[in-house]
Amino acid sequence: MKITVVGLGKIGLPLAAQFAGKGHSVTGVDVNPRVVELVNAGTEPFPGEAELDVRLKQAVADGTLTATTEYAEAIPGADYVVVVVPLFVDGDGVPDFGWMDSATRDIAANLTAGTTVIYETTLPVGTSRTRWKPALEQGSGLVEGTDFWVVFSPERVLTGRVFADLRKYPKLIGGLDATGAAKAREFYEAALDFDERPDLPRPNGVWDLGSAEAAELAKLAETTYRDVNIGLANQFARFAAQHGIDVLQVIDASNSQPYSHIHRPGIAVGGHCIPVYPRLYLWNAPDATVVRAAREANAAMPAYAVDLLAEAYGDLSGARVVVLGAAYRGGVKETAFSGVFPTVEALRGRGAEVFVHDPLYDDDELAALGFAAYHLGEPVDAAILQADHADYRQIGPADLPGVRALVDGRAVTDAARWDGVARRVIGVA
């Protein structure tokens, strides 16, 4: 098959390497010339994705994967076009389709008959049918359902483990008609491998949900569920702390039977997915009060962590405070919607002198994010642990000379190491 992948980011490039590794002819399109240059040299443009380095080098060496900035080189004659271009959400929860609109216009201008266009970027329900179909028809002069087909198939992977997740989870598809869905099934069955999953209600593989809208909602539902669950856990944590209860112990106890799946509380919910996709759902469902309340509860947690620090330390005005972790989660060099930003803002609002440490970022990178870099061993008065990097599991007062108070926002530090320091853990009284 001749396949085009539009967007060679942290999801798109591994997808392109996966498809090429199955022997298909893959062309990747990206607006960044440097990314295209690196891909064509067989060099991964970003670190940290397991297996990508080897798979990319092999695909480029085999001639099954090339990259370009030109849609005119990649779209005409393609059997399948897979779109993995970012969609952003503003502070009010309004989707910004700018990049996706631009990519869709360029696809349409070069689209030829016989192509199936598959969108994998998470979307509000109805977008494939009401936005992408008319845009592609208008820009190409072709008719969807006759000359080309539009399908939605959400990506369900996490950066750092994309290839493992592609094998592990069913590939959900939803077409605008049955023909498009059949073409998508044929494509993914030829482009992916699937692990045996006896725990699933039906065999692992390609699951057709019957419509693009159902597939769009499935992705929003699975991610919104996590945000709502974490919001509930965070409210449990705040209540438990007021009553001298260890909520982590309570959660473990509750989850010991099969009907309870309470997530862990924490200082923040970050990343491209969990804090964003509930807003895409709310955009179409403004009366979803449970979802809105959970989003508000989770957004309030960084300020709550700073409140805990002030209770443990006292007046933070003039105090040297380090936030441990710029990344939104441990082991991933990514700051999208990271809790570091509201945490630093809340500390500055208290008059603290704020520094940030992260083992994955150098001083210049932290400065570019608007932070003063901290180095372990420098004097500090207090600390908030924001990201659960493995390095922080062994950290102690010796690494933070002078520290008087610590708020562990991820419940990863060892209490035995913090003797003599006022240590607070979210959810632990």
Marked catalytic residue, from 2, 133, 219, 333: 219
How high is the pLDDT of residue 56? Answer: 98
Would you say 156 and 163 are in contact if contact means Cβ atoms under 8 Å apart? no
Distance CA 185, CA 166 (A): 15
Angstrom distance (rounded) from CA 17 to CA 402? 49
Residue 68: Cβ within 10 Å count: 17
Are the CB atoms for 38 and 71 separated by under 8 Å?
no
Helix (H) or strand (E) holding 277: helix 277-284
Q: What is the pLDDT of residue 374?
A: 98
Which segments in the chain show pLDDT lower than 70? none
213 to each of 11, 125, 129, 173, how far by Cα in Å? Answer: 22, 5, 8, 10
Residue 356's alpha-carbon distances to 10, 266, 275, in angstroms, are 25, 18, 22
Q: Could you say which of 10, 133, 171, 273 is catalytic? A: 273
Alpha-helical regions (H) of 114-245 = 127, 133-140, 162-168, 178-191, 212-242
Distance CA 390, CA 400 (A): 17
171 catalytically annotated:
no
Q: How many CB atoms lie within 10 A of CB 198?
A: 6
Q: What pLDDT is stored for residue 47 in this prediction?
A: 85
In this prediction, residue 48 carries a pLDDT of 85
pLDDT of residue 93: 80
Q: Are 100 and 121 in contact (CB under 8 A)?
A: yes
219 is catalytic: yes
Nearest CA among 167, 171, 170, 168 for reference residue 193: 167
Look at residues 13, 9, 41, 38 and name the one whose alpha carbon lies nearest to residue 27.
Answer: 13
- Domains detected in the chain: 2-210 (3.40.50.720), 245-429 (3.40.50.720)
Residue 92, helix vs strand vs coil: coil
Q: What is the pLDDT of residue 386?
A: 98
The whole-angstrom distance between residue 374's C-alpha and the CA centroid of its chain comes to: 26
**Using one digit for the tens of pLDDT, what is the confidence trace for 14-57?**
999 999 999 999 999 999 999 999 999 999 999 889 999 999 99
- The pLDDT value given to residue 90: 83
Q: Are strands 88-89 and 95-96 parallel, antiparallel or unpaired?
A: antiparallel
Quote the CA–CA distance of 20 and 191 in Å, as a whole number.
8
Q: Name the nearest CA neighbour of 15 among 153, 175, 162, 210.
A: 162
Contact 264, 251 (CB under 8 A): yes
Output the pTM of the full model: 0.91
65-77 pLDDT tens trace: 999 999 999 999 9
